[in-house]
A and B are shown apart, each in its own frame.
Chain A
Amino acid sequence: MPLPESSDSSPITSAQNTKAEVFSSSASVTEMEAIAKRLRRHIISMTGKAGSGHPGGSLSAVEIVTALYFRLLRHKPSDPGWSDRDRFILSKGHAAPLLYATLAECGYFPVDELLTLRQLDSRLQGHTDRTVTPGVEMSAGALGQGLSFAIGVALAGRLNSQPYRVYVLLGDGECDEGQVWEAAMAAAHFKVDNLVAIVDNNGQQIDGWNRDVMNLEPFNKKWQAFGWHVIEVDGHAFTQLIDAFEQAKSVRGKPTVVIAHTIKGKGVSFMENNPDFHGKAPNAAEVEIALKELE
Protein backbone atom coordinates (compact mmCIF):
# COMPACT_ATOMS: atom_id res chain seq x y z
CA MET A 1 0.00 0.00 0.00
CA PRO A 2 1.61 3.31 -1.02
CA LEU A 3 2.17 6.15 1.40
CA PRO A 4 -0.59 8.67 0.74
CA GLU A 5 0.49 12.09 -0.36
CA SER A 6 0.62 14.46 2.54
CA SER A 7 -1.96 17.16 2.05
CA ASP A 8 -1.56 18.11 5.63
CA SER A 9 -0.01 21.22 7.07
CA SER A 10 -0.48 20.31 10.70
CA PRO A 11 2.69 21.01 12.66
CA ILE A 12 2.38 17.84 14.70
CA THR A 13 2.52 15.60 11.67
CA SER A 14 4.98 16.97 9.19
CA ALA A 15 8.22 16.30 11.01
CA GLN A 16 7.49 12.67 11.64
CA ASN A 17 6.08 11.55 8.33
CA THR A 18 9.33 10.49 6.80
CA LYS A 19 10.88 9.06 9.93
CA ALA A 20 10.01 5.44 9.55
CA GLU A 21 8.62 3.01 7.04
CA VAL A 22 4.90 2.64 6.88
CA PHE A 23 3.89 -0.88 7.70
CA SER A 24 2.03 -1.52 4.48
CA SER A 25 1.51 -5.22 4.62
CA SER A 26 -0.88 -6.50 2.02
CA ALA A 27 -1.00 -10.00 3.35
CA SER A 28 -2.94 -12.54 1.33
CA VAL A 29 -5.80 -14.46 2.88
CA THR A 30 -3.57 -17.53 3.16
CA GLU A 31 -0.92 -15.49 4.92
CA MET A 32 -3.50 -13.94 7.23
CA GLU A 33 -4.79 -17.41 8.10
CA ALA A 34 -1.29 -18.37 9.20
CA ILE A 35 -0.93 -15.14 11.19
CA ALA A 36 -4.30 -15.73 12.84
CA LYS A 37 -3.18 -19.16 13.96
CA ARG A 38 0.02 -17.69 15.44
CA LEU A 39 -2.01 -15.06 17.29
CA ARG A 40 -4.29 -17.74 18.71
CA ARG A 41 -1.28 -19.72 19.90
CA HIS A 42 0.11 -16.58 21.54
CA ILE A 43 -3.22 -15.90 23.28
CA ILE A 44 -3.28 -19.43 24.73
CA SER A 45 0.36 -19.36 25.79
CA MET A 46 0.14 -15.87 27.29
CA THR A 47 -2.98 -16.42 29.34
CA GLY A 48 -1.82 -19.92 30.27
CA LYS A 49 1.49 -18.59 31.54
CA ALA A 50 -0.18 -15.68 33.34
CA GLY A 51 -2.72 -17.99 34.94
CA SER A 52 -5.42 -15.40 34.30
CA GLY A 53 -6.80 -13.24 31.51
CA HIS A 54 -9.49 -13.30 28.88
CA PRO A 55 -8.94 -15.87 26.15
CA GLY A 56 -12.55 -16.19 24.92
CA GLY A 57 -13.09 -12.65 23.69
CA SER A 58 -9.53 -12.47 22.41
CA LEU A 59 -9.95 -15.57 20.24
CA SER A 60 -13.25 -14.38 18.79
CA ALA A 61 -11.72 -11.19 17.38
CA VAL A 62 -8.53 -12.66 15.88
CA GLU A 63 -9.59 -12.35 12.24
CA ILE A 64 -10.93 -8.82 12.75
CA VAL A 65 -7.68 -7.57 14.24
CA THR A 66 -5.53 -9.53 11.81
CA ALA A 67 -7.33 -8.06 8.80
CA LEU A 68 -6.90 -4.57 10.20
CA TYR A 69 -3.22 -4.74 11.13
CA PHE A 70 -2.02 -6.86 8.23
CA ARG A 71 -4.18 -5.50 5.44
CA LEU A 72 -5.95 -2.23 6.24
CA LEU A 73 -4.05 0.01 8.62
CA ARG A 74 -1.29 2.38 7.61
CA HIS A 75 0.96 2.34 10.65
CA LYS A 76 4.63 2.37 11.60
CA PRO A 77 5.70 -0.13 14.27
CA SER A 78 9.02 1.72 14.53
CA ASP A 79 7.19 5.01 15.18
CA PRO A 80 3.98 4.26 17.12
CA GLY A 81 3.27 7.97 17.57
CA TRP A 82 3.29 8.77 13.84
CA SER A 83 0.60 11.38 13.66
CA ASP A 84 -0.96 10.28 10.36
CA ARG A 85 -1.27 6.61 11.38
CA ASP A 86 -4.62 4.90 11.10
CA ARG A 87 -5.84 4.26 14.62
CA PHE A 88 -7.00 0.99 16.07
CA ILE A 89 -8.70 1.54 19.43
CA LEU A 90 -9.50 -1.51 21.52
CA SER A 91 -12.55 -0.57 23.52
CA LYS A 92 -13.05 -4.11 24.82
CA GLY A 93 -9.83 -3.82 26.77
CA HIS A 94 -9.99 -7.36 28.11
CA ALA A 95 -8.97 -8.56 24.65
CA ALA A 96 -5.55 -7.14 25.49
CA PRO A 97 -3.78 -10.51 24.85
CA LEU A 98 -4.95 -10.36 21.23
CA LEU A 99 -3.81 -6.78 20.76
CA TYR A 100 -0.43 -7.45 22.39
CA ALA A 101 0.13 -10.54 20.25
CA THR A 102 -0.74 -8.55 17.13
CA LEU A 103 1.49 -5.62 18.02
CA ALA A 104 4.37 -8.00 18.74
CA GLU A 105 3.89 -9.81 15.42
CA CYS A 106 3.94 -6.41 13.69
CA GLY A 107 7.21 -5.53 15.42
CA TYR A 108 6.13 -2.98 18.01
CA PHE A 109 7.99 -4.98 20.66
CA PRO A 110 9.64 -8.41 20.86
CA VAL A 111 7.42 -11.48 20.64
CA ASP A 112 9.32 -12.89 23.64
CA GLU A 113 7.82 -10.15 25.79
CA LEU A 114 4.34 -11.62 25.33
CA LEU A 115 4.93 -14.16 28.06
CA THR A 116 5.33 -11.35 30.62
CA LEU A 117 1.59 -10.64 30.38
CA ARG A 118 0.10 -9.55 33.72
CA GLN A 119 3.39 -9.84 35.61
CA LEU A 120 4.56 -7.09 37.94
CA ASP A 121 6.53 -4.46 35.97
CA SER A 122 5.51 -5.92 32.61
CA ARG A 123 4.57 -3.47 29.85
CA LEU A 124 1.69 -5.82 29.11
CA GLN A 125 -0.92 -4.96 31.72
CA GLY A 126 -4.02 -7.07 32.34
CA HIS A 127 -6.05 -4.51 30.44
CA THR A 128 -4.57 -2.08 27.92
CA ASP A 129 -2.60 0.88 29.24
CA ARG A 130 -1.60 3.53 26.71
CA THR A 131 1.12 4.89 28.97
CA VAL A 132 3.28 1.76 28.89
CA THR A 133 2.70 -0.33 25.76
CA PRO A 134 3.97 0.83 22.36
CA GLY A 135 1.11 0.90 19.87
CA VAL A 136 -1.71 0.89 22.44
CA GLU A 137 -3.94 3.89 21.78
CA MET A 138 -6.20 3.80 24.81
CA SER A 139 -6.25 2.75 28.44
CA ALA A 140 -9.31 0.54 28.38
CA GLY A 141 -10.95 -2.17 30.42
CA ALA A 142 -13.68 -0.05 31.94
CA LEU A 143 -16.18 -0.94 29.23
CA GLY A 144 -18.11 1.46 27.09
CA GLN A 145 -15.53 4.22 26.81
CA GLY A 146 -13.75 3.44 23.54
CA LEU A 147 -16.32 4.69 21.05
CA SER A 148 -16.40 8.14 22.66
CA PHE A 149 -12.60 8.25 22.67
CA ALA A 150 -12.59 7.21 19.01
CA ILE A 151 -14.95 10.05 18.10
CA GLY A 152 -12.51 12.50 19.66
CA VAL A 153 -9.64 11.01 17.66
CA ALA A 154 -11.72 11.15 14.48
CA LEU A 155 -12.77 14.76 15.08
CA ALA A 156 -9.15 15.77 15.65
CA GLY A 157 -8.22 14.18 12.34
CA ARG A 158 -10.96 16.12 10.62
CA LEU A 159 -9.98 19.40 12.27
CA ASN A 160 -6.37 18.86 11.20
CA SER A 161 -7.33 17.63 7.70
CA GLN A 162 -5.34 14.48 8.43
CA PRO A 163 -6.05 11.47 6.24
CA TYR A 164 -6.13 8.81 8.95
CA ARG A 165 -9.08 6.54 9.65
CA VAL A 166 -10.17 5.37 13.08
CA TYR A 167 -11.20 1.80 13.85
CA VAL A 168 -12.64 0.92 17.24
CA LEU A 169 -13.45 -2.61 18.42
CA LEU A 170 -16.32 -3.11 20.83
CA GLY A 171 -17.69 -6.23 22.42
CA ASP A 172 -21.35 -7.02 21.99
CA GLY A 173 -21.80 -7.37 25.73
CA GLU A 174 -20.08 -4.01 26.06
CA CYS A 175 -23.02 -2.50 24.20
CA ASP A 176 -25.03 -2.88 27.41
CA GLU A 177 -23.23 0.29 28.54
CA GLY A 178 -25.27 3.46 28.08
CA GLN A 179 -22.21 5.44 27.07
CA VAL A 180 -21.94 3.36 23.89
CA TRP A 181 -25.30 4.73 22.77
CA GLU A 182 -24.47 8.28 23.81
CA ALA A 183 -21.45 7.91 21.55
CA ALA A 184 -23.42 6.22 18.77
CA MET A 185 -25.75 9.21 18.73
CA ALA A 186 -22.88 11.70 18.74
CA ALA A 187 -20.87 9.97 16.00
CA ALA A 188 -23.83 10.24 13.65
CA HIS A 189 -24.59 13.79 14.76
CA PHE A 190 -21.02 14.92 14.12
CA LYS A 191 -20.98 12.93 10.85
CA VAL A 192 -17.62 11.32 11.56
CA ASP A 193 -17.24 9.26 8.40
CA ASN A 194 -13.57 8.56 9.12
CA LEU A 195 -14.72 6.29 11.94
CA VAL A 196 -15.52 2.58 11.77
CA ALA A 197 -16.84 0.70 14.78
CA ILE A 198 -16.55 -3.07 14.76
CA VAL A 199 -18.65 -5.13 17.14
CA ASP A 200 -17.20 -8.51 17.99
CA ASN A 201 -20.61 -10.11 18.13
CA ASN A 202 -19.76 -13.39 19.80
CA GLY A 203 -23.14 -13.55 21.53
CA GLN A 204 -21.82 -14.12 25.01
CA GLN A 205 -20.90 -12.14 28.07
CA ILE A 206 -19.63 -13.20 31.48
CA ASP A 207 -22.94 -14.40 32.86
CA GLY A 208 -23.98 -16.29 29.73
CA TRP A 209 -25.64 -15.65 26.38
CA ASN A 210 -26.41 -11.97 25.72
CA ARG A 211 -30.02 -12.81 24.92
CA ASP A 212 -30.44 -14.18 28.46
CA VAL A 213 -28.35 -11.61 30.33
CA MET A 214 -29.40 -8.46 28.48
CA ASN A 215 -30.99 -8.73 25.10
CA LEU A 216 -29.41 -6.45 22.47
CA GLU A 217 -31.76 -7.27 19.61
CA PRO A 218 -32.70 -5.85 17.21
CA PHE A 219 -29.02 -4.97 17.15
CA ASN A 220 -28.63 -4.06 13.48
CA LYS A 221 -31.72 -1.86 13.59
CA LYS A 222 -30.51 -0.10 16.71
CA TRP A 223 -27.36 1.09 14.91
CA GLN A 224 -29.37 2.02 11.83
CA ALA A 225 -31.79 3.99 13.96
CA PHE A 226 -28.86 5.85 15.50
CA GLY A 227 -27.80 6.96 12.02
CA TRP A 228 -25.03 4.53 11.17
CA HIS A 229 -24.19 2.68 7.98
CA VAL A 230 -24.42 -0.96 9.07
CA ILE A 231 -22.61 -3.92 7.54
CA GLU A 232 -22.96 -7.46 8.87
CA VAL A 233 -20.26 -10.02 8.18
CA ASP A 234 -18.94 -13.37 9.24
CA GLY A 235 -16.26 -12.13 11.62
CA HIS A 236 -14.00 -15.08 10.87
CA ALA A 237 -14.09 -14.58 7.07
CA PHE A 238 -11.20 -12.39 5.93
CA THR A 239 -12.70 -11.55 2.56
CA GLN A 240 -15.96 -10.37 4.13
CA LEU A 241 -14.14 -8.29 6.73
CA ILE A 242 -11.86 -6.65 4.16
CA ASP A 243 -14.76 -5.94 1.81
CA ALA A 244 -16.65 -4.31 4.68
CA PHE A 245 -13.71 -2.10 5.67
CA GLU A 246 -13.14 -1.09 2.03
CA GLN A 247 -16.85 -0.35 1.59
CA ALA A 248 -16.79 1.83 4.70
CA LYS A 249 -14.14 4.06 3.11
CA SER A 250 -16.64 5.23 0.52
CA VAL A 251 -19.44 5.99 2.99
CA ARG A 252 -19.79 9.76 3.36
CA GLY A 253 -21.51 11.78 6.05
CA LYS A 254 -22.07 8.96 8.52
CA PRO A 255 -20.05 6.48 10.55
CA THR A 256 -19.98 2.79 9.71
CA VAL A 257 -20.44 -0.13 12.06
CA VAL A 258 -19.35 -3.61 11.08
CA ILE A 259 -21.27 -6.17 13.08
CA ALA A 260 -18.94 -9.15 12.95
CA HIS A 261 -20.61 -12.40 13.87
CA THR A 262 -18.05 -14.45 15.71
CA ILE A 263 -17.66 -17.43 18.01
CA LYS A 264 -16.32 -16.86 21.48
CA GLY A 265 -13.21 -18.95 22.03
CA LYS A 266 -12.93 -19.59 18.27
CA GLY A 267 -10.29 -22.11 17.28
CA VAL A 268 -10.11 -24.07 20.52
CA SER A 269 -12.80 -26.74 20.73
CA PHE A 270 -13.43 -26.63 24.46
CA MET A 271 -13.44 -22.84 24.58
CA GLU A 272 -15.85 -22.26 21.70
CA ASN A 273 -19.16 -20.82 22.90
CA ASN A 274 -18.10 -21.52 26.47
CA PRO A 275 -18.57 -18.44 28.67
CA ASP A 276 -16.37 -20.03 31.34
CA PHE A 277 -13.39 -18.96 29.26
CA HIS A 278 -14.44 -15.31 29.12
CA GLY A 279 -12.20 -14.45 32.01
CA LYS A 280 -10.48 -17.71 32.88
CA ALA A 281 -7.11 -18.84 31.63
CA PRO A 282 -6.45 -22.39 30.44
CA ASN A 283 -4.52 -24.60 32.85
CA ALA A 284 -1.36 -26.41 31.76
CA ALA A 285 -3.20 -29.44 30.39
CA GLU A 286 -5.69 -27.24 28.55
CA VAL A 287 -2.87 -25.18 27.09
CA GLU A 288 -1.33 -28.36 25.72
CA ILE A 289 -4.58 -29.51 24.12
CA ALA A 290 -5.33 -26.05 22.73
CA LEU A 291 -1.89 -25.63 21.18
CA LYS A 292 -2.19 -29.05 19.60
CA GLU A 293 -5.50 -28.04 18.04
CA LEU A 294 -3.84 -24.89 16.72
CA GLU A 295 -0.89 -26.60 15.07
Chain B
Amino acid sequence: MIEKYANPNRFQTLSKHLIPLFGILSLIAFTVGLYIAFFASPPDYQQKETVRIMYIHVPAAWMSMSIFFWMGISSFLVIWRRHHLANIAAKSMAPIGAVLAFICLVTGALWGKPTWGTYWIWDARLTSMLLLFFLYIGYILIQYTTEDHFKASKISAIFASVGLINLPIIKFSVEWWNTLHQGPSIIRAGGPSIHETMLWPLFTMAFAYLCLTVFLTLINMRTELLQQKIEGMLRRKVSEATHA
Protein backbone atom coordinates (compact mmCIF):
# COMPACT_ATOMS: atom_id res chain seq x y z
CA MET B 1 0.00 0.00 0.00
CA ILE B 2 2.87 2.34 0.86
CA GLU B 3 4.41 1.76 -2.57
CA LYS B 4 1.05 2.49 -4.25
CA TYR B 5 0.53 5.90 -2.65
CA ALA B 6 4.18 6.84 -2.22
CA ASN B 7 4.70 7.20 -5.95
CA PRO B 8 5.52 10.91 -6.62
CA ASN B 9 3.32 11.06 -9.74
CA ARG B 10 0.36 9.48 -7.97
CA PHE B 11 0.95 11.85 -5.06
CA GLN B 12 0.88 14.88 -7.40
CA THR B 13 -2.49 13.81 -8.82
CA LEU B 14 -3.98 13.01 -5.42
CA SER B 15 -2.68 16.16 -3.70
CA LYS B 16 -4.13 18.37 -6.44
CA HIS B 17 -7.61 17.39 -5.23
CA LEU B 18 -6.81 17.19 -1.53
CA ILE B 19 -5.21 20.65 -1.14
CA PRO B 20 -8.36 22.72 -1.84
CA LEU B 21 -10.47 20.26 0.17
CA PHE B 22 -8.32 20.59 3.31
CA GLY B 23 -7.94 24.35 2.79
CA ILE B 24 -11.72 24.85 2.78
CA LEU B 25 -12.22 22.40 5.66
CA SER B 26 -9.68 24.23 7.82
CA LEU B 27 -11.30 27.61 7.06
CA ILE B 28 -14.75 26.31 8.02
CA ALA B 29 -13.45 24.54 11.14
CA PHE B 30 -11.53 27.64 12.30
CA THR B 31 -14.61 29.85 11.80
CA VAL B 32 -16.92 27.45 13.66
CA GLY B 33 -14.29 26.72 16.33
CA LEU B 34 -13.64 30.40 17.05
CA TYR B 35 -17.35 31.12 17.21
CA ILE B 36 -17.95 28.30 19.73
CA ALA B 37 -14.78 29.21 21.67
CA PHE B 38 -15.82 32.84 22.15
CA PHE B 39 -19.62 32.85 22.12
CA ALA B 40 -20.93 29.39 22.93
CA SER B 41 -18.55 28.10 25.61
CA PRO B 42 -18.77 29.42 29.18
CA PRO B 43 -15.91 30.91 31.23
CA ASP B 44 -14.27 28.60 33.76
CA TYR B 45 -15.35 28.93 37.40
CA GLN B 46 -11.72 29.37 38.52
CA GLN B 47 -9.79 30.72 35.52
CA LYS B 48 -12.66 32.89 34.25
CA GLU B 49 -12.19 34.09 30.65
CA THR B 50 -8.50 33.11 30.34
CA VAL B 51 -9.62 29.50 29.82
CA ARG B 52 -10.29 30.52 26.20
CA ILE B 53 -6.51 30.44 25.59
CA MET B 54 -6.85 26.64 25.94
CA TYR B 55 -8.61 26.47 22.55
CA ILE B 56 -5.48 27.58 20.71
CA HIS B 57 -2.83 26.32 23.14
CA VAL B 58 -3.85 22.67 23.55
CA PRO B 59 -4.50 21.86 19.84
CA ALA B 60 -1.13 23.46 18.98
CA ALA B 61 0.56 21.17 21.52
CA TRP B 62 -1.29 18.08 20.20
CA MET B 63 -0.46 18.87 16.59
CA SER B 64 3.20 19.72 17.19
CA MET B 65 3.62 16.37 18.96
CA SER B 66 1.66 14.47 16.29
CA ILE B 67 3.70 16.05 13.52
CA PHE B 68 6.95 14.97 15.16
CA PHE B 69 5.50 11.45 15.53
CA TRP B 70 4.74 11.32 11.78
CA MET B 71 8.15 12.77 11.01
CA GLY B 72 9.62 9.92 13.07
CA ILE B 73 7.57 7.32 11.14
CA SER B 74 8.64 8.89 7.83
CA SER B 75 12.24 8.88 9.04
CA PHE B 76 12.05 5.15 9.81
CA LEU B 77 10.87 4.65 6.21
CA VAL B 78 13.83 6.73 4.99
CA ILE B 79 16.30 4.63 7.01
CA TRP B 80 14.61 1.28 6.40
CA ARG B 81 13.41 1.59 2.79
CA ARG B 82 15.32 4.71 1.63
CA HIS B 83 11.95 6.09 0.68
CA HIS B 84 12.27 9.34 -1.25
CA LEU B 85 8.73 10.65 -0.68
CA ALA B 86 8.94 9.84 3.05
CA ASN B 87 11.94 12.17 3.31
CA ILE B 88 10.05 14.90 1.44
CA ALA B 89 7.05 14.41 3.77
CA ALA B 90 9.18 14.73 6.91
CA LYS B 91 11.03 17.75 5.51
CA SER B 92 7.72 19.42 4.60
CA MET B 93 6.17 18.84 8.01
CA ALA B 94 9.10 20.19 10.05
CA PRO B 95 8.48 23.99 9.65
CA ILE B 96 4.77 23.50 10.41
CA GLY B 97 5.59 21.55 13.56
CA ALA B 98 8.11 24.19 14.62
CA VAL B 99 5.54 27.00 14.26
CA LEU B 100 2.94 24.98 16.20
CA ALA B 101 5.45 24.25 18.99
CA PHE B 102 6.26 27.98 19.06
CA ILE B 103 2.52 28.84 19.32
CA CYS B 104 2.14 26.29 22.11
CA LEU B 105 5.07 27.78 24.08
CA VAL B 106 4.05 31.44 23.67
CA THR B 107 0.32 30.94 24.33
CA GLY B 108 1.27 28.69 27.27
CA ALA B 109 3.38 31.50 28.73
CA LEU B 110 0.54 33.99 28.20
CA TRP B 111 -1.88 31.58 29.88
CA GLY B 112 0.59 30.86 32.68
CA LYS B 113 0.96 34.45 33.82
CA PRO B 114 -2.68 35.06 34.86
CA THR B 115 -3.15 31.44 36.02
CA TRP B 116 0.11 30.54 37.79
CA GLY B 117 1.55 34.01 38.25
CA THR B 118 4.57 33.33 36.03
CA TYR B 119 5.29 33.18 32.30
CA TRP B 120 7.82 30.39 32.58
CA ILE B 121 9.07 27.76 34.97
CA TRP B 122 11.61 25.01 34.28
CA ASP B 123 9.23 22.17 35.05
CA ALA B 124 9.29 18.88 33.15
CA ARG B 125 6.35 19.56 30.79
CA LEU B 126 7.47 23.04 29.75
CA THR B 127 11.13 22.06 29.39
CA SER B 128 10.36 18.94 27.32
CA MET B 129 8.08 21.04 25.07
CA LEU B 130 10.88 23.58 24.62
CA LEU B 131 13.17 20.66 23.73
CA LEU B 132 10.66 19.59 21.06
CA PHE B 133 10.84 23.10 19.57
CA PHE B 134 14.66 22.86 19.48
CA LEU B 135 14.44 19.40 17.91
CA TYR B 136 12.37 20.93 15.10
CA ILE B 137 14.91 23.73 14.66
CA GLY B 138 17.76 21.20 14.60
CA TYR B 139 15.96 19.06 12.01
CA ILE B 140 15.26 22.08 9.78
CA LEU B 141 18.88 23.22 10.04
CA ILE B 142 20.16 19.76 9.02
CA GLN B 143 17.75 19.50 6.09
CA TYR B 144 18.25 22.99 4.70
CA THR B 145 21.95 23.57 5.36
CA THR B 146 23.45 20.22 4.27
CA GLU B 147 24.29 20.52 0.59
CA ASP B 148 24.28 16.80 -0.16
CA HIS B 149 20.56 15.86 -0.26
CA PHE B 150 21.20 12.16 0.36
CA LYS B 151 23.39 12.91 3.37
CA ALA B 152 20.86 15.45 4.68
CA SER B 153 17.98 12.96 4.45
CA LYS B 154 19.97 10.26 6.23
CA ILE B 155 21.28 12.45 9.09
CA SER B 156 17.92 14.17 9.64
CA ALA B 157 16.11 10.80 9.63
CA ILE B 158 18.39 9.51 12.39
CA PHE B 159 17.95 12.82 14.24
CA ALA B 160 14.12 12.62 14.07
CA SER B 161 14.08 8.93 15.05
CA VAL B 162 16.18 9.65 18.15
CA GLY B 163 14.05 12.73 18.89
CA LEU B 164 10.96 10.50 19.12
CA ILE B 165 12.11 9.60 22.65
CA ASN B 166 11.01 13.10 23.71
CA LEU B 167 7.32 12.46 22.87
CA PRO B 168 6.50 10.04 25.74
CA ILE B 169 8.54 12.31 28.02
CA ILE B 170 6.26 15.26 27.11
CA LYS B 171 3.11 13.15 27.47
CA PHE B 172 3.94 11.52 30.81
CA SER B 173 6.04 14.34 32.31
CA VAL B 174 3.05 15.53 34.34
CA GLU B 175 2.64 12.03 35.82
CA TRP B 176 6.32 11.12 36.31
CA TRP B 177 7.34 14.39 37.94
CA ASN B 178 5.73 16.94 40.20
CA THR B 179 4.98 19.81 37.80
CA LEU B 180 3.27 23.17 37.93
CA HIS B 181 1.59 22.23 34.66
CA GLN B 182 -1.71 20.45 35.24
CA GLY B 183 -2.05 16.69 34.81
CA PRO B 184 -3.86 14.97 31.92
CA SER B 185 -7.45 16.14 31.63
CA ILE B 186 -8.65 14.52 28.39
CA ILE B 187 -6.86 11.21 27.72
CA ARG B 188 -6.97 9.73 31.22
CA ALA B 189 -8.55 6.92 33.21
CA GLY B 190 -12.12 7.83 34.10
CA GLY B 191 -12.69 9.98 31.01
CA PRO B 192 -12.13 13.68 30.38
CA SER B 193 -12.36 16.05 33.34
CA ILE B 194 -13.36 18.96 31.10
CA HIS B 195 -17.03 19.80 30.70
CA GLU B 196 -18.49 19.04 27.27
CA THR B 197 -19.29 22.73 26.64
CA MET B 198 -15.51 23.28 26.64
CA LEU B 199 -14.63 20.00 24.93
CA TRP B 200 -16.54 20.80 21.72
CA PRO B 201 -14.68 24.03 20.89
CA LEU B 202 -11.43 22.29 21.82
CA PHE B 203 -12.05 19.38 19.43
CA THR B 204 -13.31 21.71 16.68
CA MET B 205 -10.15 23.82 16.92
CA ALA B 206 -8.03 20.65 16.98
CA PHE B 207 -9.76 19.53 13.77
CA ALA B 208 -9.06 22.96 12.23
CA TYR B 209 -5.37 22.69 13.16
CA LEU B 210 -5.27 19.17 11.70
CA CYS B 211 -6.81 20.28 8.39
CA LEU B 212 -4.43 23.24 8.16
CA THR B 213 -1.47 20.94 8.88
CA VAL B 214 -2.49 18.53 6.09
CA PHE B 215 -3.14 21.47 3.72
CA LEU B 216 0.29 23.02 4.37
CA THR B 217 2.13 19.68 4.34
CA LEU B 218 0.72 18.85 0.91
CA ILE B 219 1.66 22.30 -0.44
CA ASN B 220 5.19 21.99 0.96
CA MET B 221 5.57 18.49 -0.48
CA ARG B 222 4.55 19.69 -3.92
CA THR B 223 7.02 22.57 -3.61
CA GLU B 224 9.84 20.18 -2.65
CA LEU B 225 9.03 17.87 -5.58
CA LEU B 226 9.00 20.84 -7.97
CA GLN B 227 12.32 22.09 -6.56
CA GLN B 228 13.90 18.69 -7.18
CA LYS B 229 12.57 18.69 -10.74
CA ILE B 230 14.06 22.18 -11.24
CA GLU B 231 17.42 21.04 -9.88
CA GLY B 232 17.32 18.07 -12.27
CA MET B 233 16.51 20.32 -15.23
CA LEU B 234 19.31 22.74 -14.35
CA ARG B 235 21.81 19.90 -13.91
CA ARG B 236 20.82 18.54 -17.33
CA LYS B 237 21.20 21.99 -18.88
CA VAL B 238 24.66 22.46 -17.35
CA SER B 239 25.82 18.99 -18.43
CA GLU B 240 24.50 19.58 -21.96
CA ALA B 241 26.31 22.91 -22.09
CA THR B 242 29.59 21.40 -20.90
CA HIS B 243 29.37 18.47 -23.34
CA ALA B 244 28.60 20.72 -26.31
A pairs with B: no
Chain A interface (Cβ < 8 Å from any Cβ of B) = none
Chain B interface (Cβ < 8 Å from any Cβ of A) = none
